[in-house]
């Protein structure tokens, strides 16, 4: 029987892939690809075909490994996890071998001289490749090369360990409740699911898990303060020395090691810090520029956040603990706008939201999206869609996996399944994974979303469109590839704005039983609530961004752990909430310790500036202005990493980015200051 992971055409056979396929596929593929690499290195003269060969090698690795990493995130099992973790260092090591090849470096350096300025995409491909050679230590001594390779290998493994600990800690927590009065205020869909979970495990009453939808529902709606505190503590102490599983799956030593490994990698390459290394591939030019950007936002936002907290405590008529804030915020929102999640949920059934989202994409970018049957998936809830131009030509496809369940990583994300590739007669359409963790349907009713979850879906679909609507045929520059990390969130945060638009909300809403549209007054109140507590939300994100960036900028091995010191400093400077001593936020910060946002979490705010400015072009015209949408598609979505991100934005907007649209969007009053 052939190994499904070695399939070279078409969609992955997700239903056929087993854990015991992984090692065999990786070993076979690496043996073949190393032979190809050796042959390439034997070339005496440079030609662009060598660059195309490297593209093919890297695409082969992606095609093999992408299904493995994806399955480990969405249906993790002990067997799959073991094989993933065993082979991950092998994949990392091979990538380092390519990037540390002095022979390839010399060939690409010669090739750079041959490519003229008219070959813009090809020149950018060579530029990116040479940068990757340098950042992988190609010019290092043999000893330092080996050390760097080992650091990279260990780092990917420890990041995987961090993520797995967090998943295990999240899945382990369950709260059994026999008294229905203790669950007062919690949405019926969550209570129904808890009842079903209890029955499944042979218990009476209700069994509440720690998936994100349940956590959010309890924090925002549970009248029982004791339950809110229980859930808050369970959430912020996951994988730490505190909380219900204190000491089990503790991520502290792992995260400290991750920061050390990154610092050592940066120093070997000649950088002052990992933050400086991180910026080598981003729009921001220096650590000072990033810190000044974050500080400017903090200076403008913190007074607003402080006022919002004072208003909230006046409304609650008492000082609030941090686990009280979401609950009273929801109450104040209801009081101020007569708006609640319970009121909105019935109008946002998932099937209707998706249909409306696809309609928005069609009106903006002239595409059509259709579900496809008879496609192998990894779970019965997964749906595969194909996306076509209005002329009927196939553009690509994407899978949706939208419901929370055990053994699935929390949060929401888009990931690449297949990357657009057109090389030497091979033509591969782009395919994406769109993953969320919404509450699943209850009984015969569809999944009902909060408006925040609608915004999340739009966000991830923005990433999906960025991946799918690319017109770049080289995989390393296609879609989100080659795009600076502080610009990659632009399309996703741009599309979020449409989920708030008065013109769009009727398209994506309708009562799940009657089909009646969202009432006009409700729509008005919802739109008015957009900037509600925007200051508190802003300083929370700035706290995360400053902690991440300063930790990676200030770390030195001779100093004691900086985690608590920097967190305390940042919170004193930015936050308006007093957090309890048991809070172990860093142990759960998977974006930077398990994912790709290290020294880059600021990118969310950086790109949000770009996105708000981009959306203001539509606000100043018409929401479906075809000419503006065409320019956005041409200069932002289609270009991938083939052009400089700032040039792309200027080509779309006709000028450099401005900070003002974001601050106006958040209800934070400023003068005429601009920022890029």
Q: What is the pLDDT of residues 304-328, one digit of tens each?
A: 999 999 999 999 999 999 999 999 9
CA-to-CA dists, residue 301 to 298, 493, 540, angstroms: 5, 19, 10
Q: Comparing C-alpha atoms, which of 396, 433, 407, 307 is closest to residue 637?
A: 396
- Contact (CB, 8 A) for 628 and 266: no
Using DSSP, state whether 130 is helix, strand or coil.
helix
Q: Do domains 4-99+101-135 and 252-337+534-601 have the same CATH topology?
A: no
pLDDT at 425 over 60: yes
Q: Please check whether residue 674 is in contact with residue 658, taking contact to mean a CB–CB distance below 8 angstroms.
A: yes
pLDDT at 410: 87
Compare 216 and 443 and report the one with higher pLDDT. 216
The whole-number average pLDDT for the span 391-416 is 95
pLDDT for 674 beyond 70: no
The predicted pLDDT at position 117 comes to 87
* Sequence-ordered list of residues with C-beta below 8 angstroms from that of 514, at least 6 positions apart, any chain: none
Q: How confident is the model at residue 1 (pLDDT cuts 50, 70, 90)?
A: low
Q: Kindly list the domain boundaries of the chain, sorted by start residue.
A: 4-99+101-135, 174-236, 252-337+534-601
Predicted pLDDT at 340? 85
Residue with tokens 């599309």: 495
Tell me the pLDDT band of 558, cut-offs 50, 70 and 90. Answer: confident
**Cβ neighbours for 437, distance < 8 A, ≥ 6 positions apart:** 211, 212, 213, 402, 403, 404, 408, 410, 411, 412
Output Rg (C-alpha) for the chain, integer angstroms.
25
Chain mean pLDDT for the chain: 95
Q: How many residues does the chain have?
A: 676
Contacts of 445 (CB under 8 A, 6+ apart): 189, 349, 512
* Residues in CB range of 138: below 8 A, 6 or more apart: 99, 100, 101, 102, 105, 145
DSSP 637: I
- Percent of the chain scoring above 90 in pLDDT: 93
What is the Cα–Cα distance from 412 to 405, expressed in whole angstroms?
13
Query: Does residue 675 have a pLDDT over 80?
Result: no
pLDDT of 605: 95
Angstrom distance (rounded) from CA 623 to CA 86: 49
What pTM does this model have? Answer: 0.90
**pLDDT tens digits, residue range 204-255?**
999 999 999 999 999 999 999 999 999 999 999 999 999 999 999 999 999 9
Q: How far is CA 255 from the centre of its chain?
A: 19
- So what's the pLDDT on residue 672? 43
Q: Is the pLDDT of residue 670 over 80?
A: no
As a whole number of angstroms, the distance between CA 565 and CA 561 comes to 8
- Token pair, residue 104, equals 């390839």
Q: Which CATH number fits domain 4-99+101-135: 3.90.870.10, 1.10.287.610, 1.10.1490.10, 1.20.1050.40?
A: 1.20.1050.40
Tell me the HSE value of 576 on the side-chain side, using a 13 A CA sphere.
Answer: 24
pLDDT exceeds 60 at position 625: yes
pLDDT above 50 (res 110): yes
Q: Which of 23-27, 235-239, 288-292, 408-412 has the least mean pLDDT?
A: 408-412
Question: What pLDDT is recorded for position 676?
Answer: 31
Question: Do the Cβ atoms of 164 and 404 come closer than 8 Å?
Answer: no
Is 460 a known active-site residue?
yes
CATH of domain 252-337+534-601: 1.10.1370.10
**Is the per-residue pLDDT at 440 higher than 80?**
yes
Q: Can you read off the two tokens belonging to residue 639?
A: 């270009």
- In the set 122, 416, 460, 496, the catalytic residue is 460
670 — phi, psi (to 5°)? -140, 175
- Cβ pair 301, 538 in contact under 8 A: yes
- What CA–CA distance (Å, rounded) separates 48 from 506? 51
Contact indicator for 505, 526 with CB cutoff of 8 Å: yes
Q: What is the pLDDT of residue 669?
A: 56
Q: What pLDDT sits at residue 671?
A: 44
Q: Is the pLDDT of residue 530 over 50?
A: yes
pLDDT tens digits, one per residue of 575-621? 999 999 999 999 999 999 998 899 999 999 999 999 999 999 999 99
């Amino acid at each position: 029987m052939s190994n499904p992971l070695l399939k070279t055409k078409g969609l992955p056979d997700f239903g056929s892939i087993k854990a015991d396929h992984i090692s065999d596929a990786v070993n076979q593929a690496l043996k073949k690809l190393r032979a190809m690499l050796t042959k390439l290195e034997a070339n005496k003269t440079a030609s662009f075909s060598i660059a195309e060969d490297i593209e093919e090698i890297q695409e082969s690795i992606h095609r093999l490994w992408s299904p493995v990493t994806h399955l480990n995130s969405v249906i993790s099992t002990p067997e799959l996890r073991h094989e993933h973790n065993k082979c991950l260092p092998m994949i990392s090591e091979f990538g380092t071998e390519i990037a540390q090849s002095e022979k390839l470096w010399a060939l690409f350096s010669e090739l750079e001289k041959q490519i003229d300025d008219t070959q813009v995409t090809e020149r950018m491909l060579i530029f990116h490749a040479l940068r990757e050679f340098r950042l992988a230590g190609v010019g290092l001594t043999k000893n330092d090369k080996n050390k760097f390779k080992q650091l990279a290998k260990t780092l990917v493994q420890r990041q995987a360990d961090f993520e797995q600990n967090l998943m295990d800690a999240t899945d382990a927590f369950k709260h059994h409740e026999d008294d229905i009065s203790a669950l007062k205020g919690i949405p019926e869909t969550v209570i129904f699911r808890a009842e079903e979970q209890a029955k499944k495990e042979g218990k009476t009453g209700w069994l509440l898990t720690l998936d994100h939808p349940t956590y959010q529902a309890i924090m925002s709606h549970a009248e029982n303060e004791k339950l809110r505190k229980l859930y808050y503590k369970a959430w912020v102490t996951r994988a730490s020395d505190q909380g219900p599983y204190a000491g089990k799956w503790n991520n502290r030593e792992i995260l400290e090691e991750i920061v050390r490994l990154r610092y050592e990698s940066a120093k070997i390459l000649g950088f002052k810090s990992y933050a400086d290394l991180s910026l080598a591939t981003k729009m921001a030019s220096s650590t000072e520029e990033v810190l000044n950007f974050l500080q400017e936002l903090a200076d403008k936002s913190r007074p607003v956040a402080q006022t919002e907290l004072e208003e909230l405590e006046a409304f609650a008529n008492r000082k609030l603990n941090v686990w009280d804030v979401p609950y009273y915020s929801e109450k104040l929102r209801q009081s101020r706008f007569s708006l609640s999640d319970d009121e909105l949920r019935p109008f946002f059934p998932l099937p209707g939201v998706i249909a409306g989202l696809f309609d928005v994409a069609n009106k903006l970018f002239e595409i059509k999206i259709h579900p496809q049957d008879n496609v192998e998936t990894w779970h019965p809830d997964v749906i595969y869609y194909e996306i076509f131009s209005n002329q009927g030509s196939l553009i690509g496809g994407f899978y949706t996996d939208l419901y929370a369940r055990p053994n699935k990583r929390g949060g929401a994300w888009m990931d690449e399944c297949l990357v657009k590739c057109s090389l030497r007669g091979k033509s591969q359409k782009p395919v994406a994974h769109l993953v969320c963790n919404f509450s699943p349907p209850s009984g015969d009713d569809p999944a009902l979303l909060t408006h925040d979850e609608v915004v999340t879906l739009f966000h991830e679909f923005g990433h999906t469109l960025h991946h799918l609507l690319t017109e770049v045929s080289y995989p390393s520059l296609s879609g989100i590839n080659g795009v600076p990390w502080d610009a990659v969130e632009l399309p996703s945060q741009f599309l979020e704005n449409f989920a708030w638009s008065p013109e769009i909300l009727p398209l994506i809403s309708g009562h799940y039983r009657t089909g009646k549209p969202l009432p006009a007054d409700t729509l008005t109140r919802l739109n008015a609530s957009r900037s509600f507590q925007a200051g508190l939300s802003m300083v929370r994100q700035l706290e995360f961004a400053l902690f991440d960036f300063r930790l990676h900028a200030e770390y030195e091995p001779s100093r004691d752990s900086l985690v608590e010191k920097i967190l305390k400093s940042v919170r004193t400077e930015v936050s308006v909430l007093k957090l309890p001593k048991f809070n172990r936020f860093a142990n759960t910060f998977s974006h930077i310790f398990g994912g790709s946002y290290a020294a880059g979490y600021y990118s969310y705010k950086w790109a949000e500036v770009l996105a708000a400015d981009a959306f203001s072009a539509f606000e100043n015209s018409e929401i479906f202005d075809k000419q503006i949408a065409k320019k956005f598609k041409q200069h932002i979505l289609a270009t991938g990493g083939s052009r400089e991100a700032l040039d792309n934005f200027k080509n779309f907007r006709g000028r450099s980015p401005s900070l003002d649209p974001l601050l106006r969007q958040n209800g934070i009053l400023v003068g005429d200051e601009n920022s890029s």
